[in-house]
Amino acid sequence: MKEGYSQIRNEALAYAFSYMNLIEHWGSGIPRIISKVKAAGLQEPEFIGGEVDLRINIYRGQVRDNDHKNDLNKSKANLETQLIELIIRNPEMTHKMLSEELSVSAATIKRALTKLRQEGKVIRKGSNRKGKWIFTDKK
């Protein structure tokens, strides 16, 4: 399967899909799945098959090696640095504005800002809508 050799289990269904142009080539799907998953930096999918079924487990968020973990830690530090730079430039920015500027989710911004607050690096003065961020310059 992984090499592109397919075994038709239900000929009627396979030919119906072929007739309706819902498949491209016999045996091309599994190698494409593997290549896309690896390109996303994830662990290779797990294939579990019996006589009449096939299950493919794709594990999201699992890294393949320690180098990738180090890259994630560096990107988190980079996000915090970018947040601080944006706060210094425009202290009135909201979570939504920050997330749009940095192209990350609002939840990611909230987590990063919570961490920066706990470390005493930033303070929020005023309300969420009309307040402003203050960078405290603590290292």
Residues contacting 37, CB < 8 A, separation 6+:
43, 44, 45, 58
Phi first, then psi, for residue 16 (nearest 5°) are -65, -45
pLDDT at 25: 66
pLDDT in tens, 82-129: 888 888 888 898 888 888 888 888 888 888 888 888 988 888 898 877
Q: Does the predicted model carry a pTM greater than 0.75?
A: no
Confidence of residue 48 (pLDDT cuts 50, 70, 90): confident
What percent of the chain stands above pLDDT 70?
78
Residues 61-79, mean pLDDT to the nearest whole number = 56
- For domain 66-135, give the CATH number: 1.10.10.10
Q: Report the SS3 class of residue 43.
A: coil
Q: Where are the domains of the chain?
A: 11-57, 66-135
